[in-house]
Amino acid sequence: MNLNATNDRRPSTLDPRGELVEFDLATDEMLVNMGPQHPSTHGVLRLVLRTDGEVVLSASPRVGYLHRCGEKFGENLSPRQFIPFTDRLDYISSMNMNLGWALTVEKLLGHEVTEKCRHLRIIVCELNRIANHLVAACSTGLDLGSFTPFMWAFREREKIQNLFEELCGARLTYSYVTVGGVTADAPPGWMKKVEQFLDQFEPVVVELNTVLTSNAIFIRRMAGTGVLSPAMATGYGCTGPVLRGSGVDWDLRRDGEPIYTRMYNGYQWSVIAEVDGKYPQDHPYPPVPRPAVLGDSWHRFYVRMLEVVQSMHLVRQAIEKYSRCGGDVGKPLPLKQKLPPGEAYLETETPKGQLGFMIISDGSPIPWRVRIRSCSFFHVQVLPEICRGAMLADMTAIIASMDIVLGEVDR
Instruction: Give residue 247's pLDDT band: very low, low, confident or very high (50, 70, 90).
Output: confident
DSSP-derived 3-state class of residue 397: helix
Largest CA distance in the chain: 96
* pTM, two decimal places: 0.88
CA 393, CA 237: separation in Å to the nearest integer?
27
CA 133, CA 136: separation in Å to the nearest integer?
5
Instruction: For residue range 338-373, list pLDDT tens digits in order.
Output: 999 999 999 999 999 999 999 999 999 999 999 999
Examine the pLDDT at 283 and tell me if it is beyond 60.
Answer: no
- For the chain, give the mean pLDDT: 85
CA 410, CA 90: separation in Å to the nearest integer?
11
Domains defined along the chain, listed by start: 70-410 (1.10.645.10)
Mean local confidence (pLDDT), 174-188: 94
What's the chain's Rg over C-alpha atoms?
24
pLDDT of residue 110: 93
CA 209, CA 287: separation in Å to the nearest integer?
7
pLDDT of residue 255: 85
- Give the residue from 403, 366, 367, 341 showing the smallest Cα distance to 129: 403
Instruction: Give residue 84's pLDDT band: very low, low, confident or very high (50, 70, 90).
Output: very high
Question: 258 exposed, middle or buried (CB, 10 Å; 0-12, 13-18, 19+)?
Answer: exposed
Question: 384 exposed, middle or buried (CB, 10 Å; 0-12, 13-18, 19+)?
Answer: middle
CA atoms 372, 84, 308, 377: torsion sign = negative
Instruction: For residue range 130-145, list pLDDT tens digits in order.
Output: 999 999 988 888 888 8
CA 151, CA 139: separation in Å to the nearest integer?
10
